[in-house]
């Protein structure tokens, strides 16, 4: 019997998107995600300006990630019920408002609150990833998802660079002013170019949220993807949140502009998301996920010498981003394969777990950096990599029909 929660196939499945439209989605996604990560290279400037310590100022970055995670949990499921285009436009407008609120925040806790709100409404990129998945041929799904994710990663990394430069030249508040202003042309571009989203279910909002738990409970591929990517994203944020502190306190005494500049270096690995998507289409997600975990762990072994060697720091940044981004696409593609009609809810589960892991990594690593310096960060990253490997290789093998078929595609 047909699942009554799904609308008719003709209404639920949009036409396949052109390559140009996929690229446009990637550009918009990358532009909006800068709201979350612009804070990280200017944390020392915020700490100095608001007179707080490293552990406290790291809460600003953690709040953005927790807000993002909350937005993923509460807003992404709406993409299965309503027009995603309208959702995207509303969120971009609110991102502008919260950016202004952050710029004028009088103290650290007001900034933390504004950062949390900015995080909630900046989940636009993950509204666009299901667009790319649903509007792709099965043989191109990994590639197109990888393209949008590459756009997200380029936005994350280049946004850090721009924020570091602006913050050094004009102060940390100017960074949030620039982000708010940037949302205006982004909104115009999204309104002009994004296609109308087509709902795939008529469930009420409450029932949509209630359906998340059974979806995760009954599908091991989704659960494993959530856990593994949460751990990899914790590794990613543990490094980037503390990079500015490392550069400021290490033998180089470099400022926020240099910390942001490392985003350019990391961007060299951003296109690994697209390559990871292509590899997933060719050889299957399990092999790509396993390789990604190994690459992230290797990156932290390289970064163990980063406190004294700029060469190891640069190489470690590139390797880390390659591993995390390849894992992001392969885990996401694996989860999406479970049910093409529930892309919004699957993405909500997957990305909520991912960014909760990132927020946890940011919070715990701030404490470790204060007490154990860079050695604590490296030990944390290696431990997370080992745990991800255990979940991937020691856990119960995949067993659902959908996953077995997806691994053959």
The total number of structural domains that make up the chain: 1
- Expressed as residue numbers, the domain containing 146 is 14-196+218-408
Task: Scan for tokens 């196939």, then name that residue.
Answer: 9
Instruction: Indicate whether 202 belongs to any domain.
Output: no
The reported pLDDT for the residue numbered 401 is 44
3-state secondary structure 121-136: HCCHHHHHHHHHHHCC
Q: 184: which 2 tokens?
A: 């205006």
Task: Scan for tokens 């409404």, then name that residue.
Answer: 121
Cβ distance 115 to 209 under 8 Å? no
How far is residue 400's CA from residue 393's CA, in Å, rounded to a whole number? 17
Cβ distance 388 to 404 under 8 Å? no
Instruction: Indicate whether 212 belongs to any domain.
Output: no
> Which among 281, 225, 293, 305 is positioned nearest to 409, based on CA atoms?
281
As beta bridge partners, residue 201 has 6
Residues across the chain: 409
Q: 236: which 2 tokens?
A: 């990613």
How far is residue 268's CA from residue 287's CA, in Å, rounded to a whole number? 23
How far is residue 34's CA from residue 46's CA, in Å, rounded to a whole number? 17
Cβ distance 309 to 169 under 8 Å? no
CATH for 280: 1.20.1250.20
Between vectors from CA 304 to CA 295 and to CA 267, what angle results, nearest 5°? 50
**DSSP-derived 3-state class of residue 298:** helix
Concatenating the DSSP letter of every residue in 363-398 gives HHHHHHHHHHHHHHHHHHHHHHHHHHHHHHHHSPPP
Q: 48: which 2 tokens?
A: 């100095």
Task: Scan for tokens 């900034």, then name that residue.
Answer: 111
How far is residue 36's CA from residue 113's CA, in Å, rounded to a whole number? 13
Instruction: Indicate whether 380 belongs to any domain.
Output: yes
Instruction: Indicate whether 358 belongs to any domain.
Output: yes
Task: Scan for tokens 């060299």, then name that residue.
Answer: 268
Q: How far is CA 255 from CA 44, 246, 359, 375, 394, in A?
A: 8, 10, 24, 21, 43
Q: What is the chain's pLDDT, residue by residue, as a tens digit (409 residues)?
A: 344 444 433 334 455 667 777 888 888 999 999 998 888 888 889 998 898 887 788 889 889 988 988 888 888 778 777 787 888 999 999 999 999 999 999 999 999 999 999 999 998 888 887 777 777 777 777 778 778 877 887 887 778 788 888 998 999 999 999 999 999 999 998 888 777 766 767 778 888 888 888 988 999 889 999 999 999 999 998 998 888 888 877 677 776 667 666 766 766 666 665 666 667 767 777 888 999 999 999 999 999 998 888 899 989 988 998 898 888 888 888 888 888 777 778 888 888 888 889 888 988 998 899 889 999 999 999 999 999 999 998 754 544 444 444 444 4
Between vectors from CA 37 to CA 346 and to CA 227, what angle results, nearest 5°? 35
- The burial class, CB within 10 Å (0-12 / 13-18 / 19+), for 155 is buried
Q: What is the H or E stretch that residue 262 is in?
A: helix 256-267
284 φψ region: left (φ > 0), alpha (ψ -120 to 50), beta (else): left
Q: How many CA atoms lie within 13 A of 16 on its CB side?
A: 8
Instruction: Indicate whether 40 belongs to any domain.
Output: yes
The crossing angle, in degrees rounded to 10, of helices 272-283 and 310-336 is 50
How far is residue 162's CA from residue 356's CA, in Å, rounded to a whole number? 25
The reported pLDDT for the residue numbered 99 is 95
Instruction: Indicate whether 229 belongs to any domain.
Output: yes
Instruction: Indicate whether 265 belongs to any domain.
Output: yes
Instruction: Indicate whether 1 belongs to any domain.
Output: no
């Amino acid at each position: 019997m047909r699942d009554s929660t799904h609308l008719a196939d003709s209404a639920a499945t949009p036409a396949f998107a052109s390559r140009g439209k996929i690229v446009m989605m990637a550009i918009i996604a990358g532009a909006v995600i800068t709201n979350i990560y612009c804070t990280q290279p200017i944390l020392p400037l915020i700490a100095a300006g608001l007179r707080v310590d490293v552990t406290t100022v790291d809460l600003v970055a953690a709040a953005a990630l927790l807000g993002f995670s909350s937005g993923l949990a509460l807003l992404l499921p709406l993409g299965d019920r309503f027009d995603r285009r309208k959702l995207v436009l509303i969120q971009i407008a609110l991102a502008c408002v919260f950016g202004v609120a952050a710029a004028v925040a009088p103290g650290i806790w007001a900034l933390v609150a504004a950062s949390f709100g900015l995080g909630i409404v900046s989940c636009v990129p993950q509204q666009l990833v299901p667009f790319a998945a649903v509007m792709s041929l099965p043989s191109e799904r990994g590639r197109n998802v990888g393209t949008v994710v590459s756009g997200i990663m380029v936005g994350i990394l280049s946004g850090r660079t721009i924020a570091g430069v602006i913050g050094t030249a004009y102060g940390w508040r100017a960074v949030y002013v620039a982000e708010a202003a940037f949302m205006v042309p982004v909104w115009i571009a999204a309104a002009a170019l994004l296609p109308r989203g087509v709902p795939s279910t008529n469930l009420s909002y409450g029932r949509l949220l209630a359906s998340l738990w059974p979806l995760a409970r009954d599908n091991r591929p989704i659960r494993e993807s959530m856990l593994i990517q949460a751990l990899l994203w914790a590794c990613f944020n543990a490094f980037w949140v503390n990079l500015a502190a490392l550069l400021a306190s290490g033998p180089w005494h470099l400022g926020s502009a240099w910390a942001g500049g490392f985003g350019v270096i990391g961007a060299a690995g951003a296109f690994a998301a697209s390559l990871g998507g292509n590899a997933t289409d060719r050889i299957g997600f399990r092999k790509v996920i396993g390789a990604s975990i190994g690459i992230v762990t290797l990156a932290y072994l390289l970064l163990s010498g980063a406190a004294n060697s700029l060469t190891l720091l640069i190489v470690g940044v590139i390797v880390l981003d390659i591993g995390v981004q390849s894992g992001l696409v392969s885990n996401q593609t694996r989860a999406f394969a479970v049910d093409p009609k529930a892309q919004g809810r699957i993405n909500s589960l997957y990305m909520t777990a991912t960014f909760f892991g990132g927020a946890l990594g940011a919070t715990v690593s701030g404490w470790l950096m204060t007490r154990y310096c860079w050695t604590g960060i490296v030990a944390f990253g290696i431990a997370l990599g080992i745990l991800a490997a255990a979940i991937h290789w020691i856990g119960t093998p995949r067993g659902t029909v959908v996953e077995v078929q997806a691994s053959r595609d």
